[in-house]
Structures are given as structure tokens and as C-alpha cells.
Amino acid sequence: MKQKPLILVTNDDSIVAPGIRALIQVMKEIGEVVVVAPDKAQSAMGHAVTINSTLSIERVSIDPDLDAEYSCSGTPVDCVKIALDQILDRKPDICVSGINHGSNSSINVIYSGTMSAALEAGMSGIPAIGFSLQDFSWNANFDEVMSFVKQLTLETLKNGLPEGIVLNVNFPKLKKEEIQGIKICRQAKATWQEKFDKRVSPHGKEYYWLTGEFVNQDKGEDTDEWALKHGYISVVPVQFDLTAYHAIQQLNRWEL
């Protein structure tokens, strides 16, 4: 009999976040689950890794069904690295990250710890998916999207993914029956316009909170933002080869 798929589960909202617990529920129906996730919230950590300090992992038991759950003191990318090198005894068949509390569509992919963990797995040749729900709240309802998480994971296990590519999956905050379907998309051109909130401490020192406004400059109907706005689940294939191939010719005309 074929071995059950080995599934590495991680996230950036911490190992106790409802989003990762929902993801684990789905993955238990599919294969053998190993969880390695941050011991605290690590949102917006991007592809940060811990090189100037040390890391620790602790075996925990949050889900009594699982043999292998580890909380890690590091970033989401650290979690994937330490899972592959120190925890797993074979290469996982897939790595799933999330379900993130909040959107990682369009430019958010760059800042996202959830997606960076998936990209890190992809860099080691492991099919990987980052899942995110357009709802920042801790009590977000993940039940509505769990059947889609299962479907996308099974399709990825069946088909594999092209080399160098991982999936960025975002769910609209809708009831299951309101969801229009799944769309393969491109990343919308969008930015965050910063608005720092400047304050003064009781000791007279100025400090700032980073806030911002999300601005979508992209009217394309093939983008993730369009899909989500129209009730679809967006799936963007993302890559870690950042080369802008179309610009090489132009730069070759410079006087260098």
C-alpha cells in the first residue's frame, strides 16, 4: 500500500492560531501531519531568517491526534528550514502554510510570512501552498473554506507543481455557497500607502506606529484582487526567480 503523503504544516500567526488549527483538521484527512510553527505571531516577517541569534524548538501537544507538533522561536522561514533539517526524517510531499488571518493577495505576498514559508519550501523542491482568508479577526470563520483547502491540496498532490513555483491562495470572506469558484490569477498591481501614526510616550519620546492604506491601481479582470472582489477564490502561481527577463535587453543598451 502506498505511504500516506507527509504534510508539513506551518503559518505566521503562531501555532495556536485558529487558522492553522483549521488547516490541520483538513490535512489530517489527507495524510501524515507534522506541524512546525512559530511560538508567537510573526506576521509581516517576509522572508526573514534568524542568523544573529539562536533558535529553539519545543515539542507540544495541542491536537491529541498528532504525533508531531513543534513550536519554534523563529520566523516562518526558520520553521520550514528547521523542519527540513532537524525534524522530518524524509522530504515532505507537500508544505501548506496558513490559513492566514488576513489577505495575502497582490503586493501582500512580498510582506507575508505565510507566503515566505511556502516559498522557502518551494526552494527546497517541495510543492507548497499558502492559504489566506480575507478576515483579520482571530475569530474568523474558516469552516466555509475548508472543502476548498482540501480540494486544492489534493489537486496539488495529484498534479505536482512546475519547478520553482508555489501557490498563493486567497479566500474571500463569504459563505461557502456564495463562493463563485476558483480562478487562476496574476498578482494585481497594488501598493500600501504608508501613514505613520506619530505619538509621544509618557517620557516625552516620539515614536511611530506603521499603518497604511491599501491602494489597488490595477483594473485588470485577470488579477487576484478582481477575483476576490467578485466572490472567487484567487490562486496565483508565484516564483522566487525575481529576474525581470523583459528588462535585460533594455539594460544592455546602457553605457556600462
CB nearer its own copies, residue 77 or residue 228: 77
Q: Segment contacting its own copies (CB under 8 A): 3-11, 30-38, 88-96, 158-166?
A: 158-166
CB nearer its own copies, residue 138 or residue 207: 207
Other Cβ atoms within 10 Å of 224 Cβ, number:
31
Give the bridge partners for 72, in sequence order.
38, 57
Regarding 90 and contact with its own copies (CB under 8 A), the answer is: no
Question: Which SS3 state, helix, strand or coil, does residue 10 take?
Answer: strand
Total binding residues toward its own copies, as defined by CB under 8 A: 79
Q: Segment contacting its own copies (CB under 8 A): 26-34, 139-147, 152-160, 170-178?
A: 152-160
Regarding 152 and contact with its own copies (CB under 8 A), the answer is: yes
CB nearer its own copies, residue 41 or residue 62: 41
Subset of 112-141 contacting its own copies (CB under 8 A): 116, 119, 123-124
| Residue 54 amino acid letter | T
CB nearer its own copies, residue 63 or residue 154: 154
What is the smallest separation between the CB atom of 79 and its own copies, expressed in angstroms?
Answer: 12
Phi (first) and psi of residue 117, to 5 degrees: -60, -45
What is the smallest separation between the CB atom of 8 and its own copies, expressed in angstroms?
Answer: 14
Regarding 1 and contact with its own copies (CB under 8 A), the answer is: no
Residues 6+ apart with CB under 8 A from 48: 75, 77, 113, 116
Name the burial class of residue 74, with classes exposed (0-12), middle (13-18) and buried (19+) by CB atoms within 10 angstroms of its CB: buried
User: Applying CB under 8 A, which of residues 6, 23, 81, 149 lies at the interface with its own copies?
Assistant: 81
* Rounded distance between C-alpha atoms, residue 107 and residue 162, angstroms: 22
Regarding 101 and contact with its own copies (CB under 8 A), the answer is: no
Q: Are 46 and 110 in contact (CB under 8 A)?
A: yes
